[in-house]
Structure 1
């Protein structure tokens, strides 16, 4: 068995991958909601970030509002995701689950690819 090379190149923005989930087909709305619910069930704090595609490989992404500390309703988080996408239609948008006990991100996934 051989390992497949993925032909991602900086010169070809459409080929760039940003994280593990980006090699998979885009998640459906139901799958995104399941990820949000997982974050909530773990007791993590959901947060939303966005960035222009050309800056996606930088360490700095814009935070959409503050993390949603203590939020227990997945629909509330998803409404904020939609608000972020509406306000920044060309940007990548990612969902984060902050684990305040481990002081780290328990989850981080791109949920909307921006225009390239």
Structure 2
């Protein structure tokens, strides 16, 4: 099962031109760009490693694309995502997030059902 998190996760992977267009859109909205990476894509893992500092003063998508390329070079077999942060008063949150790099061999997620006492069933995610 393919890891699906963030925008565009059910689409084929975006190429660099498409990623650049999305970053340009984010910059037009005055959103800051941040790049994060991890080797644990579990849906409850909210703490990805930050690549550099958030780019609050960025005005051109080429700057973000250069940072993305450096991150891909340093971490080729990790998940990398781009976040767009809106710091407008009243929002101050991530407005867009999407995966831009995946390892060649993705870990698999599975759903396991557990039968408990008195016909109670619970579910859990497992990686492997």
TM-score computed with the length of structure 2 as normaliser? 0.74
Matches within 5 A, 1:16-27: 16-27=3-14
CA distance in 2, matches of 1:20, 1:98: 14
Once the 2 structures are TM-superposed, how far is the Cα of residue 111 of structure 1 from its aligned partner?
Answer: 0.9
Structure 1 pair 106/28, CA: closer, same or farther in 2 (3 Å)?
same
Q: How many residues align?
A: 101
How far the C-alpha of 1:69 sits from its partner, in A, is: 1.1
- Structure 1 runs of 4+ aligned residues shifted over 2 Å read 15-20
Is 2:19 the counterpart of 1:56?
no
TM-score, normalised with respect to structure 1? 0.81
Deviates more, 1:22-31 or 1:32-41: 22-31
RMSD, aligned α-carbons:
1.2
1:103 and 2:92 are equivalent in the alignment:
yes
Higher strand share: 2
Task: Give, in whole Å, the separation in 2 of the partners of 1:19 and 1:97.
Answer: 11
Distance 1:61-1:85 versus aligned 2 partners, 3 A rule: same
Decide whether the 8 Å contact of 1:93 with 1:114 is kept in 2.
no
Relative to total residues, which structure has the larger helix share, 1 or 2? 1
**Which structure has the larger Rg over C-alpha atoms?**
2
**24, 33, 36: which one pairs with 1:37?**
24
Structure 1 gap ranges (5+): 1-7, 9-14
